[in-house]
Homo-oligomer: A and B are copies of this chain.
Amino acid sequence: MSYAYDAIVVGGGVNGGAIAYNLSKRGKKVLLLEKDVVVSKSSSAAAGMLGAQAELEEDGPLFQLARKSRAMFGSLEREIRTLCGIDIELINKGMYKVAQTIQEEMTFKNIIDMQNRVGEEAEWLSGNEVRVKESSLSDAVIGAMYIPKDGHVSAPQLAMGFIKSAAALGAVIKEYVDVYSLKIINGKIQGVQTNEGDFYSDSVIVAGGAWSKKLLDQAEVHLDMYPVKGECFSVTTHRPLLTSTIFSHGCYLVPKKGGRLIVGATVKPYTFNQAVTIDGISSLMEKAKNLVPSIINAQWEKAWAGIRPQTGDGFPYLGEHPEVKGLFIATGHFRNGILLAPITGEMIADLVERKICDENQQYFSINRSIKMPI
């Protein structure tokens, strides 16, 4: 039996792109299918923080995965630029996880201790010490956990960079192709049925973000996953308001190239509705003004929203379907889809190639929580 493609990736976002890219690098003939246009959903909406230490407050498999993925961006930047000319806009100027209460200060100091113990740099700075570095910050900031290695990238450029690099290496990219169903025979994946016909492969990877659930439900794989809307807005100034990312409870501010600043993000679970609400913008503005009062004079650029896939235990699903050979799943990254894309791409490529995979992969396996059909 011959297959048209070595692998079919379903989903044209950052993780689908990362997987297609890694498989293409390894010489596989890859087909990437996207139901809309590539990089049009949460991968284009993300602020691109690489908050391995800021987002993940406990040691464990996810923290390890995040550290490992974060370390991959340097070489990735060069590869993508060489292959397709895209600059992923990697910035390594650190992050301040700011405290506004004594309670937060205590918590963050504990996190610093933990992280130092496992070999990650992090230190506590007083409010004044932080303001020496970031003079726009208000007195509401009583101190901060400074994380030198948590940088950021342009999320849409990274996602597009993966996909265009995969294309440069031979991957076929098809947009507006909606996968109707997975072709499964005798416990093996055979390919996919789509609005533009059937495509065949003995390896199919579902990496459709929050939209993965629909397709997997049809295949009787019921992941414990739900969509969470996040709203953001951006402003510009001629001179940057900040040099490093400011991360706080309920609001982060990420300084992009050319004086652009992204403020995010709300957390609204159980909806796929991408509309930006007045409530969302208004609450983000209040938080941002509290941290950086001079933002009131910045120039409004635009607002947008993305739908991120959250899971019941907060871990992404990265693995092969326990009962359908050749069906791989990579979704549920929630707020860490950008950060985890490099390791996701590599890990899934290892699984597809039946290579020895990252030892932590077991913690992200599908059957850790799979709900089989009743």
Contact = CB atoms under 8 A, between A and B. Distances in A.
Interface stretch (A104-112, A136-144, A167-175): A167-175
A243 B195 CA distance: 33
- Most chain B CB within 10 A, of A87, A217, A274, is at A87
Given A91-B85, A258-B85, A176 B273 contact: yes
A299 interface: yes
B278 A296 contact: yes
Nearest to A193: B217
Report copies per complex. Answer: 4
A71 interface: no
A57 B281 CA distance: 35
A371 interface: no
Interface residues of A, number: 58
B300 A277 contact: yes
Given A238-B173, A282-B289, A289-B278, A167 B214 contact: no
Contact of A298 (B235, B277, B285): B277
Contacts of A85: 89, 91, 256-258
Is the contact region of chain A dominated by helix, strand, or loop, or is it mixed?
mixed
Nearest to A214: B180
Interface in A267-293: 270-282, 285-286, 288-289
B272 A296 contact: no
A299 B275 contact: yes
B257 A278 contact: no
B273 A298 contact: no
Contacts of A280: 300
Interface in A163-201: 163-164, 167-168, 173, 175-178, 180, 195-196
A357 to B, nearest CB: 29
Interface in A244-269: 256-259
A237 B273 CA distance: 14
A84 interface: yes
A306 to B, nearest CB: 12
A224 to B, nearest CB: 15
Nearest to A303: B300
Nearest to A297: B277
Most chain B CB within a 10 A radius of its CB, from A176, A180, A214: A176
Nearest to A294: B278
A117 interface: no
Contacts of A271: 176, 196
- For the complex of A and B, the 7 pairs showing the least CB-CB separation, nearest first, are A85-B257, A279-B296, A87-B87, A276-B300, A167-B238, A275-B299, A176-B273
